[in-house]
């Protein structure tokens, strides 16, 4: 443990120690996604206070605890292969009045990592669950992408299916989604995902690789260019990925007006088509009229 974490533990006790931490409660603790310094003071205090730490990988979590100077803490393995059974062991500890912290390998638990079934089982047994917020690759990538419009709407799609056909079908469904979409991907599948996103062509995507780590990289480019960008440098396919698919660009009223106008002209007289196109799209009627004349004249 470095001297900086020794002082951090003291600061954690000073900052968070006076708060109430009920017994018989599961504390869902966010851990860093790469940079140890992203640990919150409250997380440090809860991890010190907990009777045991349930975690995705006991070896990984023990290494984190040692780095923070939290030694001798009991750990309980709760991962995707044993979550249902391990949850019952946690529930029994909570019933005995223990405080249990749960941490996944990195970031906020129970989002794309294990933990959701554990939380559901704890709640079903009537015990309290308290989140201890912190690092999240999803919000970190969104904050650097500049892709969330006013109102803050986005869709978290997580990991797309591994099978090529199912992945392509998922991307086809996302192509009709007008909001920002957040995807996660592993290094061995990121090139396949890039190929699946290629049909979205000019739609922008921000690639966030190795967030908060030494070789962090955040780049924004067109979906149609993503495969080539990855192939330019072997380093670009390494690490964990968050991809932020930007919202679809809204059609300009004039462009949309002319598209609608062209369809109406095939069935209606010129003046009627212009009038309806203007009402439907809000495009200026005089511009639509000029466009209609050009279309009628074949220019």
What is residue 294's predicted lDDT score, i.e. its pLDDT? 84
Give the dihedral of Cα atoms 129, 135, 136, 141; nearest 10 deg: 160
Mean pLDDT score of the chain: 91
Residue 73 exposed, middle or buried by CB count within 10 Å (0-12, 13-18, 19+): middle
Please report, for residues 32, 78, 92, 113, the alpha-carbon distance to residue 102 in angstroms, rounded to integers and kept in the order given. Answer: 14, 9, 15, 12
What is residue 2's predicted lDDT score, i.e. its pLDDT? 55
What is residue 156's predicted lDDT score, i.e. its pLDDT? 95
pLDDT tens-digit map of 248-277: 876 555 677 888 888 888 889 999 989 998
Instruction: Please check the confidence at residue 22 and state whether its pLDDT lies above 90.
Output: yes
Least Cα distance to 52 among 74, 69, 77 occurs for: 74
pLDDT tens-digit map of 45-76: 999 999 999 999 999 999 999 999 998 999 99
Instruction: Please check the confidence at residue 299 and state whether its pLDDT lies above 70.
Output: no
pLDDT tens-digit map of 172-210: 898 888 899 999 999 999 999 999 999 998 899 999 999
What is residue 263's predicted lDDT score, i.e. its pLDDT? 85
pLDDT tens-digit map of 106-123: 999 998 888 999 999 999
pLDDT tens-digit map of 139-167: 999 999 999 876 788 999 999 999 999 99
Q: Which range is most confident: 94-98, 196-200, 291-295?
A: 94-98
Instruction: For the beta carbon of residue 259, count every other beta carbon within 10 angstroms.
Output: 13
What is residue 262's predicted lDDT score, i.e. its pLDDT? 85
What is residue 38's predicted lDDT score, i.e. its pLDDT? 95
């Amino acid at each position: 443990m470095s001297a900086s974490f020794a002082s951090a533990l003291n600061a954690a006790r000073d900052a968070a120690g006076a708060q109430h931490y009920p017994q018989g409660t599961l504390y869902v603790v966010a851990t860093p996604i790469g940079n140890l310094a992203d640990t919150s003071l409250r997380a440090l205090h809860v991890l010190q206070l907990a009777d045991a730490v349930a975690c995705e990988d006991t070896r990984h979590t023990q290494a984190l605890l040692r780095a923070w100077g939290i030694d001798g803490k009991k750990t309980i393995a709760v991962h995707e292969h044993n979550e249902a059974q391990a949850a019952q062991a946690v529930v029994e500890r909570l019933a005995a009045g223990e405080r249990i912290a749960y941490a996944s390998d990195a970031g906020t638990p129970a989002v794309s990592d294990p933990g959701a079934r554990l939380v559901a089982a704890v709640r079903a047994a009537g015990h309290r669950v308290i989140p201890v917020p912190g690092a999240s690759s999803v919000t970190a990538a969104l904050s650097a992408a500049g892709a969330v419009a006013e109102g803050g709407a986005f869709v978290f799609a997580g990991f797309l299916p591994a099978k090529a056909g199912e992945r392509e079908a998922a991307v086809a469904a996302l192509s009709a989604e007008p909001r920002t979409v957040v995807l996660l991907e592993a290094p061995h599948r990121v090139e396949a995902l890039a190929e699946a996103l290629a049909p979205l062509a000019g739609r922008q995507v921000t690639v966030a690789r190795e967030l908060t780590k030494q070789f962090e990289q955040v780049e924004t480019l067109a979906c149609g260019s993503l495969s080539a960008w990855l192939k330019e440098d072997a380093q670009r396919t390494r690490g964990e990925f968050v991809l932020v698919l930007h919202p679809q660009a809204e059609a300009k009223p004039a462009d949309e007006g002319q598209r609608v106008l062209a369809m109406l002209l095939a069935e209606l007289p010129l003046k009627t088509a212009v009038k309806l196109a203007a009402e439907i799209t809000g495009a200026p009627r005089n511009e639509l009229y000029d466009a209609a004349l050009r279309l009628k004249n074949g220019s």
